[in-house]
Copies of this chain bind each other. A is one copy, B any other.
Amino acid sequence: MDFQEILLRRTIRRFQQKPLSEADFRALLNAARLASCASNRQRLRYIVAREPGRVAAILPHTAYAALVKPHRDPVPGVNSPVAFIAVTATEEPSSHLYADAGAAIQSLEFAAWERSIGCCWLASFDREKAAALLEVKDADRLLYLVALGYPAESPVREDIRGDGSPRYYLDSDDVLHVPKWTVDSITEWK
């Protein structure tokens, strides 16, 4: 798929209850591993949680779209993620390691969209409980989760200028609108 089309991806929080294939997961992980990282040290590791029981156990410990709560809280078995990919660190995380995680997740999200798969990058979850369910020994090294599945919603982007609000909102048709500042609003030229 053309990159300019992939770039129009949006975060998805409602999912079809259709499983992902092993080829799907591998395509996502391949994109993550090829992302930029500090000094090529590759200090990130991935756990694919795809067993339905494990996914269901993790779900209650994750949080979605605080500004429109509870309207994007997934309903288990109806529109909930069908898998999670956990991003973990091989050492105590530093700022630059968080940046590596951001780069890897962004690359993974693009690869997902190419296959018509939606993602929700989660920073807000119960780290201790999720780490226990994923068998991660040190919860501080569980950096992020990515919730996955085929989309069951179609959020809309809106371009705003510097005085606009970046708060996302639901319209009366339950469509999520996501304001993004224009290039001119966020750039200086020197």
A residues near B, CB below 8 A?
Answer: 1-4, 6-8, 11, 26, 29-31, 33-36, 38-42, 44-51, 54, 66-67, 93, 95-96, 98-107, 109-111, 114, 121, 123, 134-135, 143-144, 157, 166-168, 178-183, 186-190
Taking A1-B2, A40-B167, A46-B186 as known contacts, 4 extra A-B pairs with beta carbons closer than 8 A to each other, sorted by chain A number, are A40-B166, A40-B180, A54-B190, A99-B99
**Complex: A105 Cα to B105 Cα, angstroms:** 12
Q: List 17 A-B contacts (CB under 8 A).
A: A1-B2, A11-B36, A33-B186, A42-B166, A42-B180, A46-B187, A47-B188, A48-B188, A48-B190, A93-B95, A96-B98, A98-B102, A99-B99, A100-B102, A102-B102, A106-B107, A110-B110
**Chain B neighbourhood of A40, CB < 8 A:** 166-168, 178-180
How far in angstroms is the closest Cβ of chain B from A83?
A: 10
In the complex, what distance in Å separates the CA atom of A35 from the CA atom of B178? 12
Whether B103 pairs with A3 at a CB distance below 8 angstroms is no
**A33: B residues at CB distance < 8 A:** 180-183, 186
Known: A102-B101, A106-B103. A66 touches B95 (CB 8 A): no
Instruction: Give the distance to chain B from A67, nearest Cβ to Cβ, in Å.
Output: 7
The 6 closest A-B pairs by CB, nearest first: A102-B102, A99-B102, A103-B106, A102-B103, A98-B98, A106-B106
Q: Is the CB of B54 within 8 A of A34?
A: no
- The smallest C-beta distance from A58 to any residue of chain B, in angstroms, reads 10
